[in-house]
A and B are shown apart, each in its own frame.
Chain A
Amino acid sequence: MTAIDQSATVAIDAEEVRRVRRERAERIGRWVLPLTIMALAIFAWDRICVWNEIPHYILPRPGVVLQALYNDAALLFSSLLVTLRITFLGLLLAVAGGVGLAVLFAQSKWVEMSFFPFAVVLQVTPIVAIFPLINIYVDNQTTKLLLCAWIVAFFPILSNTTLGLNSADRNLRDLFALNGATRWQELWLLRLPSAMPYFLGGLKIAGGLALIGAVVAEFVAGAAGQSSGLASRIIEAGYRLNAPRLFAALILISATGIVIFLVLSWVSHMMLRRWHESALKQER
């Protein structure tokens, strides 16, 4: 018995102990450090306001912002809901459009060569510059905003999924050919699973972009007084020099973006964790 106990303690050498300790510290630090810095920054913000006697319509103290978030909760959260709806519908359409187009492109190099440049054009032209056109041609308010969010968000999905569909293992493709696989079987059983990690990478980017697209669209539309999303709350608050509410709306938007990113990262991790390098826990 004692011999076994001894060997069990000996099995972990000094280096291993150090590594385990370092890993634990890293795991804790990953959350504690940014939160500490954030708390310090908020504290510094508060102090700066007090020491310099900055009026709250220029830079409100954090407490005032929190108060505004609480007092205007009904207004702000109903606006957030509007923005979220556009964001998620936009993201959903971006996924459908991006993957759909990628699958179409994967059917033939010629189709890809013909249409991919247009996707690039759509991507590189600033949405703010396109919006006035959309405003002319599209009547429905929601459609306008959706179109904007979609244009901004679909490209990373399209581009990543296209790359993924084309990067299926050569030998596996030969194997599928040898076994007489149909186009559909090859797509469904080989190309789409191969594209999964690429698609999920694109999705993570697109999630943030859909929010940006939605907010930017609301801004441009809101300038014409036609929107009720968070962006219009910001514009409104700006006109009325209501800085606390402006900050509160801003914080809501950032928090939404962070939540979207975290959720999509989690989804990606769960889908890939059994097989893909990017999601594997290192086992040494």
Chain B
Amino acid sequence: MLALQTSTERSATRAPLLSLRGVGKAFSNGVTALSGVDMTIRQGDFVSLLGPSGCGKSTALRIIAGLSTPTTGGLDWHGETIGQRDLGFVFQEPTLMPWASVFDNVWLPLRLRGVSRAQAAAEIGEMLERVHLTGFEKAVPRELSGGMKMRVSIARSLVTRPKLLLMDEPFAALDEITRFKLNDDILELWQDRKLTVVFVTHSVFESVFLSNRIIVMAARPGRVHGEFDVDAPYPRDERFRTSADYAALCRDASEALLGAINASHQAYRGRA
């Protein structure tokens, strides 16, 4: 039997990896996407950023990835700094190169690091096996279903063995069954590779199923509304999805999200 830890036990023992400290982001069109955002991601966390549309989830993720610089505040790396080359990024769309085969798409990050096709083959093969796409190496993206494309995208993000994986609503466009399957896969990868994952979603159910911690965000301006630990053991499977615990946790998260949405509306009305 595996010794199951609850997430609180685990997160208490985890070392902090990075902190957003008073991060604000204003765009030139006058939109304040983020304002005074504080959050800490710990080593080995699976953190969900949950919030209504437009609350700055993507912006926060892009700031963590270094694709965007904060207007105010900053990013603190505890221990080692994880540069852009050591993180994986999964976009909302599969974002594959339509002219390239599945193999070449997964090869891309390694290729950009100067790894030859032959050198990369073993790692790519293993990665494709992990996402159940063995045998599709030669297919081009248009020959794949939406779920398969997303798997390619995940394989591509992990082929460089990153320490930190950032995912921006990766499964939002998929049907529920495919999403469940991919949720299982991503949890398995997270545990096997001891990843730290920051997962943006607007689905309460998905965030509760996946994460050990949920950060709820509110909009106008984008800010952290609250955060809580998801007190349920890993590994999580179908039994967890149908358990009373899961339902109760979803109810809590829903309430928190509803609070955040109300806060967003009030802020909006207050301004108008």
Contacts and interface: CB of A to CB of B under 8 A. Distances in A.
Interface stretch (A126-134, A225-233, A272-280): A272-280
Given A174-B67, A275-B141, A181 B99 contact: no
Contacts of B109: 175, 179
A176 B142 contact: no
A197 to B, nearest CB: 9
Contacts of B67: 174, 177-178
Contact of A275 (B65, B91, B142, B160): B142
B76 to A, nearest CB: 20
B85 A180 contact: yes
Interface stretch (A75-83, A185-193, A248-256, A258-266): A185-193
Given A171-B93, A275-B140, A196 B84 contact: no
A196 B95 CA distance: 18
A180 B140 CA distance: 25
Nearest to A271: B99
Contacts of A276: 98-99
Interface class of chain A by DSSP: helix
Interface in B63-81: 65-67
A275 B99 CA distance: 5
Nearest to B104: A189
A189 B111 contact: yes
A72 interface: no
A171 B153 CA distance: 12
Contacts of B65: 178
Interface residues of B, number: 23
Nearest to A176: B112
A276 B141 CA distance: 11
A180 B91 contact: no
B90 to A, nearest CB: 10
A169 interface: yes
A172 to B, nearest CB: 6
Contact of A179 (B91, B97, B99, B113): B113
A283 to B, nearest CB: 10
Interface string A140-182: 0000000000000000000000000000010110111111110
Interface residues of A, number: 20
Interface in B155-177: 160
B112 A180 contact: yes
Contact of B112 (A174, A179, A275, A280): A179
A176 B109 CA distance: 8
B124 interface: no
Contacts of A275: 98-99, 140-142
Interface in B86-140: 87, 89, 91, 93, 95, 97-100, 108-109, 111-113, 140
B198 to A, nearest CB: 14
A175 B93 CA distance: 12
Nearest to A172: B95
Nearest to A274: B140
Contact of A178 (B87, B99, B140, B142): B87
Contacts of B108: 175, 179, 189
A153 B257 CA distance: 59
Contacts of A193: 97, 99-100
Nearest to B94: A171
A193 B91 CA distance: 21
Contacts of B89: 174-175, 178
Contacts of A171: 91, 93, 95
Nearest to A186: B112
Contacts of B140: 274-275
A275 B139 CA distance: 10
B113 to A, nearest CB: 7
Nearest to A178: B84
A80 B109 CA distance: 51
A181 B95 contact: no
Contacts of A274: 99, 140
Interface in A190-248: 190, 193, 196
B161 to A, nearest CB: 13
A169 B95 contact: yes
Contacts of A181: 112
A188 to B, nearest CB: 11
Interface of B: 65-67, 84-85, 87, 89, 91, 93, 95, 97-100, 108-109, 111-113, 140-142, 160
6 contacts: A169-B95, A172-B95, A175-B91, A176-B112, A178-B85, A179-B108
Given A179-B109, A275-B99, A275-B141, 15 more contacts: A171-B91, A171-B93, A172-B95, A174-B91, A175-B95, A176-B112, A178-B65, A178-B89, A179-B108, A179-B160, A185-B112, A189-B108, A189-B112, A193-B100, A276-B99
